[in-house]
Structure 1
Amino acid sequence: MCFAMSKHLIRARAPAEPSPNRRRTFNVHGTEVISSFGRALGIGLFLAPSALYLQGDSVPGGKRDLYLSATFQRSLRKLFDDLRRGEPTLPNKNFQHFLETEQGELQEKVSAKLTEDTYSFEQFLWVWWMQFGLDVEKPVSIADKDLTKPISNYFIDSSHNTYLTGHQWSGKATAETYKRALLSGCRCVEIDVWDNNTAPSPDKSLAGSAKGIQRLDHSRKFSTNSLHTAAAQVKAIVDDKIVQTRQFLGVEKVHGHSPKCSKFDVSALSSGRENRLTLGPPITDGRASIEQPSGGWKPVLPIDEPIVMHGWTFNQPIGFREVCKAIREVAFETTHLPIIVSLEVHALADQQESMARIMKEEWAGLLVEKPHEACPNGQMPRLEELLDKILVKVKKASLSTENSINSLSPEAMNIDDDAASGSEDDRSTKRAQPKVPICENLSNLAVYTHSEHFVNSDSFTAKSPSHIFSISEKKILSLWESKRDELFAHNRHFFMRAYPQGWRVDSSNPDPSLFWRKGVQMVAMNWQKWDEGMMINKAMFSGEHGWVLKPTGYRSHGEGLDDRATRPPYRTFDLIITILAGQHIPLPEGMPRRKLHSLRPLVKCELHVEKAEERSGSPGEGGIKLRPIDWKKRTGIGKTDHPEFDTENGELCFKGIHKVEEALSFVRFRVEHEQSRIIPLKEVPRGWACVRLDRLAIGHRFIPLLDSDGNETKGVLLVRIQKNYQ
């Protein structure tokens, strides 16, 4: 391999340090340095450290340009000097030993890629980055992904109330959230479907100062199925009043585009601040429609088709067909792996028929309407047999309690499931809602994924391998305390779905790893909020296209095998993470760059692993008491947005991590700013990252940071990862 450095372009830039006196540029026009590559790099490193770009290979999906600040260069130069051990250049054997032992690279790959006898610093950097990579997360090979197992043997990236953008009770509903979720890797979306009762009858008149609200006909009371629109009508009145007041005060209304723009502040009317109420897009497909009252809320909904909304709340509705169109539009744009559409049906028979018709029309050629020919007698299909397919999860038309294949005892469960009332959201009120019977045409679409609920404390049944139990997070944790082995055995063979508690009206999330470790395949997450739970969810499915094969011991192995003979392969090890440096750490909102000298970033690190007393089997594994481990650690305080940490301040040691399943364990990084006396700062993470432990690469690595909305930033941490297995 010939190292003509002129082929591997590096661009010299101004130094990353904040002090303007130390800035120096080696190409005043900012063009690429080619013939003087080695000289420019050497000057940048030794005389006045400059920020450098290593140019990528320009191949789609390949290596991107790599930015190296002077801060990072100093750490990497020190590493290079340690490796060459006094030699003027780095010997091949030293480089090879470093890649194999420190970086965990395969010997065969290292031998094939290292063809030179010695390496200069610039060659060391380029070969290391281009041929082996510096990413902290091990890549996933989609071509090598195992798709041969039954679909119940996978964890599935799932969302809860997918149609919402923010708050659970007063947020905005839009079909765009389905597109965003699916394009981000989600493979199980939820649709709450209701009758469309927004059409006015000819004999109904409009009355009151808030025009647009129907006057109730005394001969017809609100039905159980029409009450869900009452909140929306009240909201229409309020919105109409807000618009009228704005017009009177001359306050201009400006729509925001952030999911956070789902709230409005009435006090803003008097102060002149922006109203943050945002609206959903109307349906404009030419079908019969009814325009809602004038004012701030003007959704256009088809009269004869069901709507999607969060019932009994102030959320605004959207059309069911609109949602189906949005799903079809992006369903398989990024992956061929299947989608599960979880329907929560509150609509009555006529509009259930409409639902079935709409799904068949909009998802023609994609919708699973009958069993796969290779799966007779109710067997579950393999994942590879459902590529580019949409599965519907819905209740069956008729339920039977006979011939149950479930081994869990109803007496032992003692579950009083709120889902039996027709809602999985466990909302604050305990009103007795009659169950909505499912029509046959809609029920027939639940081929491999039919819903089964806890009907009462005496019934916990299922009648086919395709059943899915939907249970609230609290009840799953309660069930685990008393019947963990039975629950774990059930989830090895059959689907289970966990959904957030109803009190999470702010769209917060539980820790999903608590449920994955119990074998729960679908943990429905509130994608509206990027909190700790969503960070872990992202780490679980990063690069996996929404389907992750369960670890050994968590999945079915066919008939005749003893479940106890295939326990998960737990591992014990020490994890040592050394934070070496950072670059472009995101600044607090409102902080000018001239105040960088007062910035004091620190890095917090937290492990999310299963404790021995939480796993299936005897609690505490025979009563063995383990030394408690501090699962949270932090570095010392750095300076500016390009901080450096020495070993004393940057080393974070987690010793004695006892018997965990790495595929279901996570490490989370949060970059925060210490409170300053000069500039008061809130302790809000300005950057974060989360990685699954089995995909946490060892050695010197780069950790890219995301912001509080899950978006990429320019921030990066340089770290050293060590795993010492016992």
Structure 2
Amino acid sequence: MNHLMTIDGFLMYLTSPEGSIFNPEWQGLFQDMSQPLAHYYISSSHNTYLMEDQLKGPSSVEAYIQALKRGCRCVEVDCWNGANGEPVVYHGHTFTSKILLKDVITTIANYAFKASEYPLIVSIENHCSIEQQEVMARYFRDILGDMLLTSTLDGGVASELPSPEALKRKILLKGKKIGNEPESFTGEVSDEDEAAEMNKDSLASESPPTDAKKSKQNLCKELSDLMFCKSVHFHSFEHSCTSAKPDEMSSFSESKARKYSKEAGSDFVLHNTRQLTRVYPSGMRTDSSNYCPLDMWNMGCQIVALNFQTAGMEMDLNDGLFTQNGRSGYVLKPEILRNRERLFDPEKPEEREDYHPLLFSVKVISGQQLPKVKQKEWSIVDPLVRVEIYGVPLDQAKQETKHIDNNGFNPCWNESLRFTIHTPELALVRFVVEDYDTASRNDFIGQYTLPFTCIQPGYRHVHLLSKDGMSIHPSSIYVQIKITEL
């Protein structure tokens, strides 16, 4: 026996998990899951009930099923008064269809831990009357049963939230909560919700400010008592530093979050070492488009909510980040975003103590069995490959190969692309294959996104995914990866 490998055997090896660009060591659950909740990125969905746009599309429990199967660990439920005393879920003041809250909670109970055993956060926008809030509280208690956790595990006042490990298979509700007011049955709370924020977003800049008057809403104690995380209005970073409790969470629209990241970078990073921060798309995104989540992750924001129903680069990045760590929906933030002593500024990565930029070289060699993008039998793709880097501002970059005429079966590029990576822990790499078109926009063929830290150097296969993140096996590209210190 010669112990030789045949051509077929060699090809099988190259396309096997050992030949993948994704280091198999990082695919399973490998991170420390015993740190406080605020130390993790959490895969999060916005207006989870919507299947399409934000104005007139259908609401459906199917949208919850899809998000939860995809590893989402924070879903949103907008509750409004419904007929016959039954609370409904829909996008308030729009023409989106309505579904029963009871059905949403039942679906969450059935699918919460199918993809991951780690805690599921349910973010509640509560617009209901006291009577229907009582119904809400009853449904949450009765349908979720033992899965529902309403207070920190030790019962005392903790300085940090519990860890994902301590909260396994638990559902945590986040919403408005009565403070320490003396009311016996109901409490008044300020209405600090997305609807108000969206109205501000859509106001013309010359309009007088409308946020001076906060509408008040009565809150039912039974529902308030079920909240694990309390929605609070954000006053300032100084205020949160001195006064905020670990279970208090503020939500920011993307524009507000971007403003804070520019004006108070390291203060925002410090805030996110202690508090959970939720970011959601601007009210102007009525088509359910998404913002780039990287800008928020760079600040250490944990709950960066995206419209899961909208395919594109933004959801590719979300899927890419959460591909690691057993697809559990939780990824431990890099040490630079957990350290309270040495604050990291994403705008100035070179100022960190352990600054070691890397040279990332990608030789794009060939493609295998790329799918046709036009249905006509005679159509053949003219493929090109683009490598995109997402991370701190200094790392944002894109380079692409030339296109190959009329060859989707086995195109060969043999082109080298080079990038400098200043903050490897925050970088994501996206490989995109497109069908070149001289007259119009290139057509999308496939993509694959993964964290830079999960890349396995050497000769590797990149298995392509569809626009919706599904495998389009056996389509792939073959690359050589080199990572060296500068």
2: distance between equivalents of 1:485 and 1:361?
A: 43
Deviation for aligned residue 1:682: 4.4
2: distance between equivalents of 1:441 and 1:671?
A: 53
Equivalent pair of 1:422/1:435 in contact (CA under 8 Å): no
Aligned to 1:71: none
1:671 partner letter: V
User: Quick one: structure 1 residues 170 and 565, their matched pair in 2 at CA, closer, same or farther if it must change by over 3 Å?
Assistant: closer
2: distance between equivalents of 1:333 and 1:320?
A: 21
1:723 is paired with a residue whose SS is strand
Aligned to 2:363: 578
Structure 2 residue 245 is the aligned partner of structure 1 residue 483: no
Structure 2 residue 469 is the aligned partner of structure 1 residue 710: yes
Deviation digits for residues 501-539 of structure 1, max 9, x if unmatched? 111111111111111110101100011211221111110
2:264 is paired with a residue whose SS is helix
2: distance between equivalents of 1:568 and 1:541?
A: 28
When the two structures are superposed, what TM-score results if normalisation uses the length of structure 2?
0.86
2: distance between equivalents of 1:355 and 1:630?
A: 45
Aligned to 2:412: 645
Aligned to 2:21: 136
2: distance between equivalents of 1:630 and 1:352?
A: 46
When the two structures are superposed, what TM-score results if normalisation uses the length of structure 1?
0.59
Deviation for aligned residue 1:368: 0.1
Equivalent pair of 1:378/1:466 in contact (CA under 8 Å): no
1:315 partner letter: T
Equivalent pair of 1:552/1:569 in contact (CA under 8 Å): no
Which protein, 1 or 2, shows the higher relative CO under an 8 Å CA cutoff with sep ≥ 6? 2
Deviation digits for residues 205-260 of structure 1, max 9, x if unmatched? xxxxxxxxxxxxxxxxxxxxxxxxxxxxxxxxxxxxxxxxxxxxxxxxxxxxxxxx
Deviation for aligned residue 1:348: 1.9
1:571 is paired with a residue whose SS is coil
Aligned counterparts, 1:419-498, within 5 A: 419=192, 423-426=196-199, 428=202, 434-447=215-228, 449-454=229-234, 462-498=243-279
User: Quick one: structure 1 residues 555 and 713, their matched pair in 2 at CA, closer, same or farther if it must change by over 3 Å?
Assistant: same
Equivalent pair of 1:496/1:520 in contact (CA under 8 Å): yes
Equivalent pair of 1:309/1:317 in contact (CA under 8 Å): yes
Equivalent pair of 1:419/1:454 in contact (CA under 8 Å): no
User: Quick one: structure 1 residues 630 and 390, their matched pair in 2 at CA, closer, same or farther if it must change by over 3 Å?
Assistant: closer
Structure 2 residue 436 is the aligned partner of structure 1 residue 674: yes
Structure 2 residue 38 is the aligned partner of structure 1 residue 159: no
1:156 partner letter: I
Where does structure 2 lack aligned partners over 5 or more consecutive residues? Answer: 182-189, 204-209, 346-351
Aligned counterparts, 1:233-252, within 5 A: none
User: Quick one: structure 1 residues 192 and 630, their matched pair in 2 at CA, closer, same or farther if it must change by over 3 Å?
Assistant: closer
Residue correspondences, number: 458
User: Quick one: structure 1 residues 716 and 328, their matched pair in 2 at CA, closer, same or farther if it must change by over 3 Å?
Assistant: same
1:651 partner letter: S
Aligned counterparts, 1:343-492, within 5 A: 343-373=124-154, 376-377=157-158, 379-398=160-179, 419=192, 423-426=196-199, 428=202, 434-447=215-228, 449-454=229-234, 462-492=243-273
Cα RMSD over matched residues?
A: 3.0
Partner residue of 2:330 out of 519, 524, 547: 547
Q: Which has the higher strand share?
A: 2
Aligned to 2:400: 634
Partner residue of 1:180 out of 66, 71, 86: 66
Structure 2 residue 400 is the aligned partner of structure 1 residue 610: no
2:289 is paired with a residue whose SS is coil
1:316 is paired with a residue whose SS is coil
Aligned counterparts, 1:271-286, within 5 A: none
Equivalent pair of 1:420/1:453 in contact (CA under 8 Å): no
User: Quick one: structure 1 residues 606 and 694, their matched pair in 2 at CA, closer, same or farther if it must change by over 3 Å?
Assistant: same
Deviation digits for residues 410-437 of structure 1, max 9, x if unmatched? xxxxxxx994686454563569772323
The percentage of counterpart residues that share the same residue type is 30
2:379 partner letter: K
1:544 partner letter: R
1:553 partner letter: I
2: distance between equivalents of 1:455 and 1:195?
A: 30
Equivalent pair of 2:14/2:460 in contact (CA under 8 Å): no
User: Quick one: structure 1 residues 349 and 378, their matched pair in 2 at CA, closer, same or farther if it must change by over 3 Å?
Assistant: farther
Deviation for aligned residue 1:586: 2.2
1:385 is paired with a residue whose SS is coil
Partner residue of 2:425 out of 656, 659, 663: 663
Deviation digits for residues 621-668 of structure 1, max 9, x if unmatched? xxxxxxxx8811111112321242243xx32222x33x21x2321111
Structure 2 residue 481 is the aligned partner of structure 1 residue 724: no
Equivalent pair of 1:425/1:500 in contact (CA under 8 Å): no
2:444 is paired with a residue whose SS is coil
Equivalent pair of 2:176/2:227 in contact (CA under 8 Å): yes
Aligned counterparts, 1:491-506, within 5 A: 491-506=272-287
Equivalent pair of 2:254/2:280 in contact (CA under 8 Å): yes
Aligned to 2:308: 527
Which of structures 1 and 2 has the bigger CA Rg? 1
Moved more, 526-535 or 359-368: 526-535
